[in-house]
Structure 1
Amino acid sequence: MNRSYRLPLSLALLLCLPLVACQRADDSSSNAPADAPTDFAYAEMDISDLQARMQRGELDSRTLTQAYLDRIAAIDQGGPQLNSVIELNPDAIKEAALRDAERKNNAVRGPLHGIPILLKDNIDATPMVNSAGSLALKDFRPATDAFLVRRLREAGAVILGKTNLSEWANFRSTHSTSGWSARGGQTRNPYVLDRNPCGSSAGSGVAVSANLAAATIGTETDGSIICPAAVNGVVGLKPTVGLVSRDGIIPISFSQDTAGPMTRSVSDAALLLTALAGRDPADPATTNAAWNSTLDYHTRLKANGLKGARIGVLRSKFAIHPDAAAAMEGAIKVMRDAGATVVDAQIPTDGQWDDAELELMLFEFKAGLERYLARHDAPVKTLSQLIGYNQQYTTSEMPYFGQELFEQANAKGGLGDSSYISARSLARRLAGPEGIDATLKAQQLDALIAPATGPAWLTDLKAGDHFPGAGYGAAAVAGYPSLTVPMGHSDGLPLGIVFMGAAWSEGRLIELGYAYEQLTRARKPPEYWPSLQARPARKSRE
């Protein structure tokens, strides 16, 4: 969850060990180099490009995996010290070698065969730790893979390691700092190192932007894929709740939680989503009959996908930042020139779900987390025990912010409580049927667009996040899909546009986002400046 501002306000938002070189949050970035090695052979390559090279015999998975491991050592642990990778898979090279052997035997599993992928550190993946960034779980190694990890491995992907995150997916304190965890320290934005990477999928956004893996997986409750994707200049796709199984993921809210791809291109996101989507008896949300589990999202990559589309622009969200507003005006022109009809739109219930959303999450967090801890035989079993652990190890766990949300959640009753039932119904109705659905229907729209958020803010461990606002909240609360695509820059810091649609409309959003991406090519690789002051003066809007 990206809850990057104080409550109560709108809720937008090769050893199998933690990497010793991770920078602690109070380390200064002033001496970090202004750039990183530029000779990476596979920089900015799409999954299809890498796959084509392997098919031609010009590359193998073992070589590619080792190249990413070397790059992680060079610029994540060394160099700019991005601190986005919290742990490496000790079996990564072995997995890659097995995929190479299968290829030699003409047993290629699909487009992800031999492709190295990083996972957020709240997803079960053997033999690694799953900690949600907490030292309380620093030795916790789940016995089995999460369902989505099994899907990835069955598709031939190589699990490279785990990424850092906002501790407990940013659901511990009301004034936390995104991208910080006690286990991993502070993740840095690769464009300007003293800027925040947003969260909670901070490491996943930074790692894929910096070319530390072919792709990454994040998770979102409210903004935790979309926000870090936008401020790190990459594509983030938050699926409809129920398209991707949550089994084996440390939860916040079963009403809103989902995993999704974070990639450098829409085409890569489509490939990854095809592999991730699947019905899982362990997650009842995936049994919804409204979607087709055999759908190939890669077939929705259409360069003319904007032609004839009707798109509603949430102009009220332009107040997030003037450069985001200017970039949105440019995006609207691109879409109109491509044959889309773009009209102003307004979600009539916008923000009215905020209090109800927090209430349902407090209830669901306690119930879901304790169920996960008990089922996986974790070293702590209850939220009360976690609160006690943090109190015992205050110096390491709470040097910058507390655990107010933990305490509020722990005071809640069970899921039969009438206040919970009312809050859940109200939030979903206001954001979904009376929010996004009503807005789409009123003007017969295919999707809604808005700035995802503003440019990355200065990381401030004492005061917490200086979050500029968000355009994606309705989709998160409704459990509907959203897709962010790079649309420009503000003083070198990325800006993203977010596309939102009705439930199960991922295919249409991919069409729109891909067409926009092909016309704009707005992504620029990061340059690793230590601060904006160190960056050469350029035009504000690029």
Structure 2
Amino acid sequence: MNRRLFLLNGSLAGAALTTLSLAQCTSNSAPTGQPTTDATAAGPAAAPDAFPLLEATVADLQQHMQAGRHTSRALCELYLQRVEAVNAKGPTLRAVIETNPDALKLADALDAERKAGKVRGPLHGIPVLIKDNIDTGDQMQTTAGSLALAGHRAKQDAFIVKQLRAAGAVVLGKTNLSEWANFRSTRATSGWSSRGGQTKNPYILDRTPSGSSAGSGSAAAASLCAVAIGTETDGSVVSPSSVNGLVGLKPTVGLLSRMGIIPISATQDTAGPMARTVRDAALLLAALTGEDPADAVTRGSAAHAAPDYTKFLDTNALKGKRLGVEKSHLTGTSDAVALLQKALAVLKAQGATIVEINVAKPVAALGDAEFQVLLYEFKDGVNKYLAGTNAGVKTLADVIAFDKANAAKAMPFFQQETLEAAEKTEGLGSAKYQAALARSQGGTRKILDKILHDNQLAAIIGITTGPAGCIDLVNGDYSSGLDFSSPAAMAGYPHLTVPMGQAQHLPVGLSLVGPAWSEGLLLGLGYAYEQATKLRKAPEMRGPLVG
């Protein structure tokens, strides 16, 4: 959740922070602050033997199964071996918090269906990793990375997991995350949870994988799965996708059900696909949609959903389109700004017209309204979620008490002041909450709608976030000053990020934000840019390591 960074670092200069993000990292175990070896100068870390499914797409894996070269079981076995080799050993990515003991049995059943002539669709037999705040009614836990929820097993699948299984995918396991989806502390470190430890960025191992879907980002980037699912309140799909060289899509709030997902915000939360290609993101998105009676926000979403989002993937999609570029992202001498300038040249060459616009400044002028909304909605949502579980904690107050009683393990690096602030809120009937919601969601929608309409724009573009900063368990995350997640998050509008290149071996993403229900349009634009550039590079797991 990137809005926390805005509140924490709003007084700092963006250019200075962009320089910081490419500075030497400081070991989290060295309180004296002595710098480690420059990560960008270090070579690739020791890696296991070449992985046969490295960078494999969903289409590649389907071809393997159709040709009889691999079964779904064999694919799962290979990915599980990959997890064993690089997740808990070797570079110790800590991207996967738990593997599914039923994965091979599920794969066997899907292989039997294929042998009998039944193929459910493009995800049949495909191994998928999902974030550990998404319920699965199986042997795996759902904990949001918190020791307070350790041992909790959901009674049933989340709605999107039911959809995923119906599409024939194999839930291979769950990914680590920033604890409580990065809503525990303003000093939190992205990718760290008390249950799963610190997830690492597979490009340079002492750099942040970003939050809160850090494990999904790291895992998909490092080919621990074919595709992954993250969740976002503000930045938690697009930011880890950007810094891990992925395509990430935060859909319109309401396109995907949130039933069975540990919540932060009823007005901003959504799950979203994270993949190495736009096509794979489109395939995964289609499998997850559906109206859910248990989540009223999805009512009527079927009219906006596409059964096949790949139909929007056109290499000529940019031709004739007007795109508004965030003006503040065009200034400065950072590597990220230079990458954006190159991206603009490509977009123009592909037939797009670029218009300079300013969305960041008017959205920032809304102040802390979003944060206030999240505090109120988090307490309400978490209390409702916990009340219906078999977890040992039943309320947010119970979670806070557990963390205090187990502080040495639960809070060794940062505290829980955000949880405590949420606990003090008085309920969704509060006039303060209603005013904050009108200012945050309503105000942002007016800003985006006006800019899109007045400039006749198909989408708004900018730098998703700057290159990954250093993992810092002492001071927590810091912002690059270029985070672009809040406008779409606050409005509940879709936001796509695609790889835009690298700054000193660190990926940077290009954001495309559109009006509600414009997922197909954004995927088409992103695909045209992706195919014209093909800038994604597989991670090399460069050192030094962070313990």
Specify the TM-score bucket, using the shorter chain as the normaliser.
over 0.9
- Within 5 Å, which residues of 2 pair with 1:282-361? 282-288=294-300, 291-318=303-330, 322-347=334-359, 349-361=362-374
Is 2:49 aligned against 1:50?
no
Displacement of 1:293 after TM fit? 3.5
Amino acid at match of 2:523: I
* Match 2:231 to one of 207, 215, 219: 219
Partners of 1:133 and 1:168 within 8 A in 2: yes
Matched, 1:76 2:87: yes
2:379 partner SS: helix
Contact 1:29 1:193 in 2 (8 A): no
Aligned to 2:21: none
Structure 2 CA distance for aligned equivalents of residues 473 and 275 of structure 1: 26
3-state SS of the aligned residue for 2:231? strand
2:204 is the counterpart of 1:204: no
Superposition deviation, residue 349 in structure 1: 2.1
Residue 143 of structure 2: aligned partner: 131
In the aligned structure 2, how far is the partner of 1:109 from the partner of 1:131? 30
The gaps in structure 2 that reach 5 residues or longer are 12-26
C-alpha distance in structure 2 between counterparts of 1:304 and 1:288, whole Å: 31
Distance in 2 (CA, whole Å) between partners of 1:164 and 1:185 is 8
Is 2:249–2:497's contact at 8 Å kept on the other side of the alignment?
yes
Rate the CA distance shift 1:249–1:453 in 2: closer, same or farther, 3 A.
Answer: same
Offset at 1:346?
Answer: 1.4
Identity %: 52
Q: Give the match's secondary structure for 2:189.
A: coil
Report matched runs for 1:2-401 at 5 Å.
Answer: 2-3=2-3, 5=5, 7=7, 34-37=45-48, 39-125=50-136, 126-288=138-300, 291-318=303-330, 322-347=334-359, 349-401=362-414
TM-score w.r.t. structure 1 length? 0.92
Q: Distance in 1 between matches of 2:10 and 2:367?
A: 5
1:403 aligns with 2:412: no
CA contact (8 A) 2:2 2:486 kept: no
Q: Within 2, Cα distance between the matches of 1:90 and 1:391?
A: 32
1:45 Cα deviation (Å)? 1.2
- Contact 1:278/1:286, CA 8 A, preserved across alignment: yes
Kindly state the Cα deviation for residue 378 of structure 1 after the two structures are TM-superposed.
Answer: 2.3
In 2, Cα distance between the equivalents of 1:316 and 1:503?
24
| Cα distance in 1, alignment partners of residues 313 and 178 from structure 2 | 32
Quote the Cα distance in structure 2 between the aligned partners of 1:248 and 1:505: 25
1:466 maps to 478
Structure 1 CA distance for aligned equivalents of residues 61 and 302 of structure 2? 34
Within 2, Cα distance between the matches of 1:143 and 1:74?
A: 32
CA distance in 2, matches of 1:494, 1:107: 40
C-alpha contact 1:481 1:503 (8 A) present in aligned 2: yes
Secondary structure of the equivalent of 1:74? helix
Corresponding residue number in structure 2 for 1:17: none
SS in 1 for 2:528: helix
- What SS does the corresponding residue of 1:71 show, helix, strand or coil? helix
Aligned equivalent of 1:536: none
Matches of 2:301 and 2:5, distance apart in 1: 37
- Alignment length (residue pairs): 519
Q: Answer whether contact 1:303 1:518 (CA < 8 A) is retained.
A: yes
Is 2:531 aligned against 1:514?
no
SS of match in other structure, 1:380: coil
1:289 deviation in Å?
5.2
In structure 2, what residue type is equivalent to 1:395? A
2-structure distance, mates of 1:251, 1:187: 21
Q: Given the alignment of the two structures, is residue 419 of structure 1 paired with residue 432 of structure 2, yes or no? A: yes
Aligned CA distance change for structure 1 residues 445 and 54 (closer, same or farther; 3 Å): same
CA contact (8 A) 1:5 1:464 kept: no
Distance 2:435 2:155 in 1: 37
Deviation at 1:10, TM superposition (A): 5.7
Question: What's the counterpart of residue 16 of structure 1?
Answer: none
Q: Aligned partners of 1:190, 1:321: CA distance in 2, in Å?
A: 26
Cα distance per residue 1:413-470 (max 9 Å; x no partner): 11100000111111112211x2211111111000000000100111110011122130
Give the equivalent residue in structure 2 for 1:18: none
Q: What amino acid maps onto 1:495 in structure 2?
A: V
CA contact (8 A) 1:230 1:453 kept: yes
Mapped contact 1:121–1:164 kept (Cα < 8 A): yes
